[in-house]
Amino acid sequence: MPNTIPPASPTSSTGPLQLSLGPVLFYWTRQRYADFYREAADWPVEIITLGETVCSRRRDMKLDDWLGIGRELTQAGKQVVLASQTLIESEADLRDLRKLCDNGDFIVEANDQSALQRLSSAGLPFIAGAALNLYNPATLGVMARAGMKRWQAPVEMSQQDLAKLIHDCHQAGIPHPCEVFAYGHLPLAWSSRCFTARRHQTPKDRCKFVCQKYPEGLVLRSQESRDVFTLNGIQTLSSACQDLRHELTVMVDMGVSVARLSPRAEGMAEVVKAFDQARHGRLPTPDPLTLVDAEICDGYWYGRPGMDNTRTMTG
């Protein structure tokens, strides 16, 4: 389903698209994190983002643990980013955020205004996360002057709108790299309520960490028994996984620099391999519609409802 998109700016990057591994959105055990990143050190991704972005009650991993993993990944040749929490709810959250921003080793992905304020006031560079909702060149100009080095497109932004935004940014002298969420359950919303705890009829402050029972989230179905959302503590994600493998060449032409892959508990090595092959023009024929045991979607990319899968709709 092609769209008419503006050409990439002459100053935009035409080099190979980089792959990034986003932060783990689900609550895993300490051993599972360690095993996952030990494997990821050998995967063909250039950037790995670490940290807890969803819930401060997930305390298995401390900042020092993330820093230790980050140093090991750096030695393996990866660019490491530390991600901030998306919803800050308490003074304790703010204390942890200050420590994260002042870590002294790695650039931070700012996912809310608290992180943005802390980093910009300290004169520290940062990555602008998708949850900051950056939709126009004026806002991106403000972010660039504050210290932004790369920005993530909102997950619901269409290919056509993003192409125009990147083009307009270059015209305005804002050539900062853009990152697109290319694979995984789409982060849609955050709430002060914990939906997973509520499902277990447990108060949020006495949740007993029930979300750790669901390493890929808890599926929420409609009355028609259709999978609609994935519940992940206070976060709501799409039920289907966005899969933009077949759009990587288009992204490069648009001026996108980085494609983000959101970690899954199972099958992630296969996902990374498929995207690495796709960015080098090696898509299998016939190509399987799914990489792992999950429905896929790409609706937002084409300006349609996010849960749509245009590949099955068009043939």
- Binding annotation for [4Fe-4S] cluster: 55, 194, 207, 211
Query: Is 110 strand, coil or helix?
Result: strand
Using the 8-state DSSP alphabet, how is residue 46 labeled?
S
Helix (H) or strand (E) holding 57: none
Under 8 Å CB-to-CB from 216, ≥6 apart: which residues?
26, 185, 230, 264, 265, 266
**170 within 8 A of 11, measured Cβ to Cβ:** yes
Instruction: Give the tokens for residue 204.
Output: 């949020």
Q: Residue 116 and residue 61: Cα distance in Å, rounded? A: 23
Question: 211 — phi, psi (to 5°)?
Answer: -65, -15
Q: Residue 222 and residue 190: Cα distance in Å, rounded? A: 20
Instruction: Give the tokens for residue 308.
Output: 């749509």
**213 within 8 A of 249, measured Cβ to Cβ:** no
**Helices then strands, each counted (H, E), the chain:** 10, 12
Counting Cβ atoms within 10 Å, is residue 158 exposed (0-12), middle (13-18) or buried (19+)?
middle
Q: What residue ranges in 135-234 does DSSP mark as E strands?
A: 148-152, 178-190, 218-221, 227-232
Q: Where are the alpha helices (DSSP H) in the chain?
A: 30-40, 63-75, 91-101, 113-121, 137-146, 159-171, 195-199, 248-254, 268-279, 310-313
Return the bridge partners of 148, or none.
126
- Binding annotation: 55, 194, 207, 211
